[in-house]
Amino acid sequence: MRPLTAALLGKAALTLVLGVVVGAVGTTAHRASEPWGAVGALALVAAAALTSRAYGGWPAWGGFAVGLFVTVQALAGTGPGGDQLVPADSVLSWVWVLGSAGLALGVTALPRRLFDDRPR
């Protein structure tokens, strides 16, 4: 396990911002072109989660996951005018919310050797 350094905490902060951006883009785009908007948004989550873990290990993945989960949950609520980006009665919305969480958490099941840069 690597010690927490300023560089590693900086990577975690950077991937937190990445998680916020991916969560916002995915939440707004998942209903754009059914079902391909959701497919593209989920592919974006998978790519960003893998990139975050490869970039800075567990602290960076944790930053990404927090940014993603908080943003998706914040945007899933009802807006001030009563409109919703993620309506609760839509199957596609449930696919987005549960799929994004599942894909982000699924990256944790991948073996560490996939993210190791040392020669074998």
Percent of the chain scored above 90 by pLDDT?
Answer: 80
Position 1 pLDDT exceeds 80 = no
Q: Is residue 114 part of a domain?
A: no
pLDDT tens digits for range 62-104: 999 999 999 999 999 988 888 899 998 999 999 999 999 999 9
Interatomic CA distance for residues 64 and 54, integer angstroms: 12
- Nearest by Cα to 48 from 14, 76, 3, 91: 14
Report the domain count for the chain.
1
Q: Let me know if residue 12 belongs to a domain.
A: yes
Evaluate whether residue 2 is within a structural domain: no
| Residue 80 included in any domain | no
Record the pTM.
Answer: 0.92
What residue type is 111 in one-letter code?
A: P
Q: Does residue 116 sit within a domain?
A: no
Residue 42 counted as domain residue:
yes
- For residue 62, the enclosing domain spans 7-75+86-109
